[in-house]
Amino acid sequence: MLIISEFSQVQSKLLVAGMVDVDKTIFVQLAIFLALIVILKLVLFDPFLKLEDTREEATSGARKTAAKVREQCESMEQDIDQKINDARMQGTQLREELKAEGRKIADKQVEDTRTKIDESMEAELLELKAAESGARAVLSTEARRLADLAADRILQG
């Protein structure tokens, strides 16, 4: 019971006096609070915000630089790919030109060889015909001589 009576006394004092008394000390507390805000702003908040801004600028600057470098790399990669494709096309075209030139040279050599063979064959045929004519003439003469010889033997004999 003692505890309940003490509680009621404290409760009645609080109701009479109020939880917070408004007097001259509120101005002192307000001055301390405002001074603390100013000091914290100068000592803590401003340097922290400045550090955050610096960090953000450095980070965003690095990101921008990285993005520019990435774009340059992509552009260079496209240029290199284009140059490689152009070089391949030129190589293919050059290879085809060389093949065509080689075919022309080979065809010309084959044609020259055919011409030489044809000329050689004609010359050989002419020689053979001349030899044949000569052999026929010799054979004809020899055949007449043998015929004359055979006729002489038959008649003499």
> What number of other Cβ atoms are within 10 A of residue 148's Cβ?
10
Residue where the block lists tokens 């008649």: 155
Between 139 and 3, name the one with better pLDDT: 139
Q: Measure the CA–CA gap between 53 and 45, rounded to whole angstroms.
A: 12
pLDDT in tens, 59-101: 888 888 889 999 999 999 999 999 999 999 999 999 999 999 9
| Alpha-carbon span 41 to 37, nearest angstrom | 6
Q: What percent of the chain has pLDDT over 70?
A: 85
pLDDT at 45: 93
Give 22's DSSP letter.
-
Give the predicted TM-score (pTM) of the model.
Answer: 0.43
Apex CA 126: angle with CA 120 and CA 127, to 5°? Answer: 90
Q: What is the pLDDT of residue 105?
A: 95
Percent of the chain at pLDDT > 90 equals 53
Query: Which tokens hold the place of 3?
Result: 């505890």
Q: Look at residue 1 and give its three-state secondary structure.
A: coil
**pLDDT tens digits, one per residue of 46-58:** 999 999 999 988 8
For 125, the 3-state DSSP assignment is helix
* Residue 126: alpha-carbon gap to chain centroid: 67
> How many CA atoms lie within 13 Å of 95's alpha carbon, on the beta-carbon side?
6
Mean pLDDT score, 27-39: 94
Dmax of the chain from CA atoms?
A: 197
**Total residues found in the chain within this entry:** 157
Alpha-helical (H) ranges within 18-45 are 25-40
